[in-house]
Structure 1
Amino acid sequence: MRRLLLALAAGLLVVLTTTTPAHADFRSDPRVTAAVAAWKTNRVYVDPLFAGSEGFEAESVRQVAALIARAPVPVYAAALPTGPWFPEKEDVVQLAGWLAVANGKPGLYLVLDQHSTSGAAHLIAVRSPRTTYATSSKATAADEVAAYLEEVEVDDSYQPRAARTTPLPDEPEPTYEPEPFTPAKAIGNGLGGFTLGLLGGAILALPVLGLAALVARRREGQS
């Protein structure tokens, strides 16, 4: 409960210190400014909300730093509060894009929480997952980052692009066009139904006819 209240308070702070979410300048988001400032000396940033909590102990954070130091591309990681009350509206990949553009350096940008890792590639030739999820309730930040990096593919054939900083477009609802009525389809459907009816009737009639024949033989034997 205390963690939830702190996250709500952080979300309220973000909303109050930016303009309306639809027109917010993400560079003024306190989470973004704090992470970018911290990355000047350490490419792993842990928000005070997570610092020292389960999975984000000092040793786990050191392991994250070691993992990203060995990565084939520059990696910047931030453990940040997210949720529907923040401007990104649970689009954590968009938040990772904000971090990337605000930092202004090519690389792979990761946002961690206690359940998942989301990432955005910025101006580098990689293929990376949007989000990976913890496979255990005891997974640490290092476990989450290791699982994410295992799915990253580095290849010059991938086109480097700027990270996404805007919401994904709404997916259109599927529409289904009714099939036009034609006499041929009507006849075909009628013949199909008639044929199925005959087959069904024949199948049902077999046991009845068999039983009738058995009864008839028994009567003949008794006469």
Structure 2
Amino acid sequence: MKRLALILLTGLAVFVGGGLTASAADFPTDPRVTAAVAAWKTKPVYVDPLYAEYVGTQDQQLAERIATAPAPVFVAVMPTGAWFQEKDDTERLAGWLAVTNGKPGIYVVMDGTATTGAAHLLGARAPFDTFASSKTALADQLSQYLDDLELNDRVKVKPARTAELPTAPERTYERERFTVGKAIGNGIGGMTIGLMGGALLAGIVFGLAALVAPRRGGQQ
């Protein structure tokens, strides 16, 4: 009942917000996304053909864990990485999946060791990602992620991120222009410091010599 109420409230917020929903035209078409969204029409778990042997019958265990989640969860077990269109930004891939599917919920991408997700049109704080050994059952990996999920109606309802993260601006340093005046000034400054250091050292040496000389005279 609580889950249904949350979905209804989220739907109302999206309706009132109007322009919150992102468009699938804002990002490139990806066959993994197309296949996952098609599979989600009949089941909450999509398994990429490359992972079929690895997943085996674990998709049923994943579905059972999803059924106990406090919010709609859509899981895609698929390859990710820097060589794909998301360029190792798996949260962005989750956003593509979410916006293409168009339904509020938690969208989770699993690759066997990393579980990454994003909340879409849902008042929730979803963890960025969690990690586990490849020997850990997928249902346990999903549980680890969902256990950190926090539903909160105070969280702003917004679509999942689909755009690339902005890059930090590079720091640039202006090279100091060489002038004869600066060179002379730096030379004079260095010479002055050198003379002062030499004078200080000479003063210490002469002072020690003055202390030692009377002692030697007394010994004679």
- TM-score tier (shorter): 0.5 to 0.7
Q: What is the TM-score of this pair, normalised by structure 2?
A: 0.64
Correspondences of 1:195-206 after superposition (within 5 Å)? none
Matched, 1:92 2:93: no
Matched, 1:64 2:65: no
- Residue 42 of structure 1: aligned partner: 43
Q: Distance in 2 between matches of 1:174 and 1:72?
A: 45
* Higher RCO (CA 8 Å, separation ≥ 6 residues): 2
Identity %, equivalent residues: 54
Q: Distance in 2 between matches of 1:90 and 1:165?
A: 13
Q: Is the contact between residue 122 and residue 158 of structure 2 (CA under 8 Å) also seen in structure 1?
A: yes
- Residue 140 of structure 1: aligned partner: 137
Q: How many residues align?
A: 152
CA-CA distance at 1:137 after TM superposition: 3.8
Structure 2 residue identity aligned to 1:69: A
> 1:71-111 deviations in whole A, cap 9, x for unaligned?
11100000111111111000000000000000010100000
Q: Distance in 1 between matches of 2:47 and 2:63?
A: 11
SS at match of 1:49: helix
Q: Distance in 1 between matches of 2:60 and 2:161?
A: 29
Q: Is the contact between residue 27 and residue 96 of structure 2 (CA under 8 Å) also seen in structure 1?
A: no
Q: What is the TM-score of this pair, normalised by structure 1?
A: 0.63
SS at match of 1:119: strand
Q: Distance in 2 between matches of 1:33 and 1:104?
A: 12
CA-CA distance at 1:161 after TM superposition: 0.9
> 1:21-59 deviations in whole A, cap 9, x for unaligned?
xx9843x31101000000000010000000121xx121x
Q: Is the contact between residue 27 and residue 162 of structure 2 (CA under 8 Å) also seen in structure 1?
A: no
Structure 2 residue identity aligned to 1:63: Q
Q: Distance in 1 between matches of 2:51 and 2:69?
A: 24
Structure 2 residue identity aligned to 1:120: A
Greater CA radius of gyration, 1 or 2? Answer: 2
Q: Is the contact between residue 27 and residue 163 of structure 2 (CA under 8 Å) also seen in structure 1?
A: no
- Residue 74 of structure 2: aligned partner: 76
Matched, 1:153 2:150: yes
Q: Distance in 1 between matches of 2:27 and 2:95?
A: 13
Structure 1 residue identity aligned to 2:59: V
CA-CA distance at 1:174 after TM superposition: 6.9
> 1:164-201 deviations in whole A, cap 9, x for unaligned?
0011111245799xxxxxxxxxxxxxxxxxxxxxxxxx
2:99 aligned residue (93, 98, 101) = 101
Show structure 1 runs of 4+ deviating over 6 A: none
SS at match of 1:78: strand
Root-mean-square deviation (CA), in Å?
2.3
1:170 aligned residue (167, 187, 201) = 167
